[in-house]
A and B are shown apart, each in its own frame.
Chain A
């Protein structure tokens, strides 16, 4: 055990820090749940990519830096410290990217990864359907193979950032007689294909952060299939693994929220001290965020020495989503009567972005597999309790 960064790691940190200082837009971008904000974030992805900072863990040939997980964590720390923009293409780079590297053909990797890295292709994820939420194996949208084309029919929903995204990766039933996990295929679909209708769905904040997508005889070339026909479940599980596992929510994000929470508490200590639970909740936020960081480093080190991510990774999603919810709930308590005010409201001084964060934190225990489903997985696969 050696809990200090090497010189090389420190140099890496210094390099990304100075690049971010020079390049992070001085003015906060608009939210990517507006058309203009989406475009601004797409341009930011291109800037990141020019600096080869788009996805540092990717191989150099694909515009990455071949970084290991520790360097990735360092990158994330500097990224959040610098208050750099949220990643509009996170479903692409964090989830589909690694899946493509594992299951994609060489041709597919060359075709999709660079465009993804440049922010030219922004990706949406198409798994959920009206009748298939937690029970993803209940997917009914079909893709029928005709010659060298799949003909897609059906409906996807809750697809994040699909309103302005370019592509969708999704799962479709290719074997009409199949049931449950069998007969599903992982297909990459350009969202501008004729027959596709994208209908925006306003989220809690009123902005169209996700969409439902209707498919009416949509033709997609068979070369857009990822993995084998009928093997979609295994491919999707790999993506879900990245999502729940290390990549989607790095500790830096929550450590910064915890740091801001300590600041908020100190700035409002006089009123916040009327509720003695607040001080404890702030401390708890700090402790949990630090523990999440420590555990992630420990896992990252274990993985880089050849270890495998196991069922314990389901604990990860519960931990960060509940931490995020608790931290924002605490911030709302500190803000008191101001908590409900929109940031631009005249009386909203000092509310910052807490309200937005609070709203979004409500979705953490739902998306990426609800926390109830994660608890089932922990009990059955990690603890070995009976089904």
Chain B
């Protein structure tokens, strides 16, 4: 039993955090909202140089050969800066999916994923909207029980705008006559695995988002004065933030365990992921609610940065399976006859 990250994993997290916090300021995010694609090829190039685009690509295809446990801490950091680039989907969902699919498709695209030449995006039926379809060099899409591999230009997509200007969402139309690359049971296995990975990515980002909202609020309430004092010294304000800290603290271990279950392809992965996503998104939603409250009217503006993180947290709670979907996963396990519950059942 060792529920810790290795020194290397923690060091990698530190260096990626340093890079992201330096590079991805709220100003840069705002500038991105105004561009055509909302995505920044220069930044993607930097990710490639850091090895991030190939982090989960097997070494024989030019990647680092790492897994979900290695990546989960980095996904948290992506959340912390509200990263708009599709790194989490690419590295945590699409690349492992491509490996599962295997064959020629994988042999062709994995090396391109590793070098960052190709951005690969995956989406399943539960994703009403396909995020970042417009910049996907390869889109792996599941619709009605079939998987399609579509290159940019082979599909049409229509943008639907989100209240979060950092998100680019599309309705994708599979071209008539496109040949599925998987169907039947195999397709549904690929879907379950992808859903687990996608939901894990949301959960990890939610942890980072919650932490960012706490940090912004702690900083703001230390500076803002009313009644001659920093408002952060008022107990009602403190307790709003302490409540977030409690929920966030207890959402971390479930996310890390879910990463482990996904990496090991464990039988209980769906339950672990559902738990992680429910706990983490709840913490992030509470962070949003309490953070806007302690910001006063400032929190209700476009100008103050808080909303960047708040809106992303709201959106992530409903993507890759909303709360209702994940609660169904939990209910199916715990209300079943002979469910393994109680003391000692957690790591069985």
Binding site for B on A (CB under 8 A): 1-6, 9, 13, 70, 74, 76-78, 80-81, 251-253, 255-256, 258-259, 262, 265-266, 279-280, 283, 286-288, 290-295, 297-298, 300-302, 305, 312, 315, 318-319, 372, 374-376, 378-380, 382-387
B80 to chain A, nearest CB (A): 16
Residue contact A78 to B344, C-beta cutoff 8 Å: yes
For residue B159, CB closer than 8 A to chain A, the reply is no
Return the chain B residue nearest A3 by Cβ. Answer: B260
B246 to chain A, nearest CB (A): 5
A319: B residues at CB distance < 8 A: 246, 249-250
| Residue of B4, B252, B334 ringed by the most chain A CB atoms within 10 A | B334
On whether A291 and B251 interact (CB within 8 A), knowing A76-B343, A375-B238, the answer reads: yes
Residue contact A383 to B1, C-beta cutoff 8 Å: no
For residue B239, CB closer than 8 A to chain A, the reply is yes
For residue B69, CB closer than 8 A to chain A, the reply is yes
On whether A379 and B242 interact (CB within 8 A), knowing A286-B330, A295-B252, A301-B4, the answer reads: yes
Residue contact B246 to A302, C-beta cutoff 8 Å: no
B239: A residues at CB distance < 8 A: 372, 375-376, 379
For residue B152, CB closer than 8 A to chain A, the reply is no
A340 to chain B, nearest CB (A): 27
Instruction: From the candidates B232, B237, B257, B331, name the one contacting A283 in the complex (CB within 8 A).
Output: B331
Residue contact A13 to B327, C-beta cutoff 8 Å: no
On whether A1 and B334 interact (CB within 8 A), knowing A76-B343, A301-B2, A386-B232, the answer reads: no
On whether A2 and B346 interact (CB within 8 A), knowing A376-B235, A379-B239, A379-B241, the answer reads: no
Residue contact A298 to B222, C-beta cutoff 8 Å: no
On whether A294 and B334 interact (CB within 8 A), knowing A9-B1, A13-B344, A81-B342, the answer reads: no
On whether A291 and B246 interact (CB within 8 A), knowing A386-B233, A387-B233, the answer reads: no
Q: Nearest 9 CB-CB pairs, A to B? A: A259-B342, A379-B238, A252-B343, A294-B253, A375-B242, A77-B344, A378-B242, A77-B343, A295-B253
Return the chain B residue nearest A259 by Cβ. Answer: B342
CA distance A295 to B250 in the complex (A): 6
For residue B105, CB closer than 8 A to chain A, the reply is no
A301: B residues at CB distance < 8 A: 1-4
Return the chain A residue nearest B279 by Cβ. Answer: A291
CA distance A318 to B218 in the complex (A): 20
B218: A residues at CB distance < 8 A: 383-385
Residue contact B242 to A294, C-beta cutoff 8 Å: no
Q: What count of chain B residues pass the 8 Å CB interface test?
A: 49
For residue B291, CB closer than 8 A to chain A, the reply is no
| Residue of A1, A70, A255, A266 ringed by the most chain B CB atoms within 10 A | A1
For residue B107, CB closer than 8 A to chain A, the reply is no
* Sample of 10 further A-B pairs with CB below 8 A, known A298-B256, A375-B235: A1-B5, A256-B343, A291-B250, A294-B254, A297-B253, A298-B4, A374-B242, A376-B238, A379-B245, A383-B238
A192 to chain B, nearest CB (A): 38
Residue contact A290 to B254, C-beta cutoff 8 Å: yes
For residue B163, CB closer than 8 A to chain A, the reply is no
Return the chain A residue nearest B214 by Cβ. Answer: A383
Residue contact A298 to B252, C-beta cutoff 8 Å: yes
Instruction: From the candidates A1, A258, A312, A382, name the one contacting B2 in the complex (CB within 8 A).
Output: A1
Instruction: From the candidates A280, A383, A386, name the one contacting B327 in the complex (CB within 8 A).
Output: A280
B278: A residues at CB distance < 8 A: 287
CA distance A258 to B252 in the complex (A): 20
Residue contact A266 to B260, C-beta cutoff 8 Å: no
On whether A318 and B232 interact (CB within 8 A), knowing A3-B347, A5-B1, the answer reads: no
Write 17 A-B pairs (CB below 8 A) sorted by A numbering.
A4-B1, A255-B342, A256-B342, A256-B343, A259-B343, A262-B335, A265-B335, A283-B327, A287-B278, A288-B250, A294-B254, A297-B347, A315-B245, A375-B243, A378-B242, A379-B232, A386-B230
Residue contact A383 to B341, C-beta cutoff 8 Å: no
Residue contact B3 to A298, C-beta cutoff 8 Å: yes
Residue contact A262 to B341, C-beta cutoff 8 Å: yes
Residue contact A3 to B238, C-beta cutoff 8 Å: no
For residue B339, CB closer than 8 A to chain A, the reply is yes
On whether A262 and B241 interact (CB within 8 A), knowing A280-B327, A286-B330, A385-B222, the answer reads: no
CA distance A259 to B335 in the complex (A): 10
| Residue of B254, B327, B330, B341 ringed by the most chain A CB atoms within 10 A | B341
A255: B residues at CB distance < 8 A: 341-343, 345-346
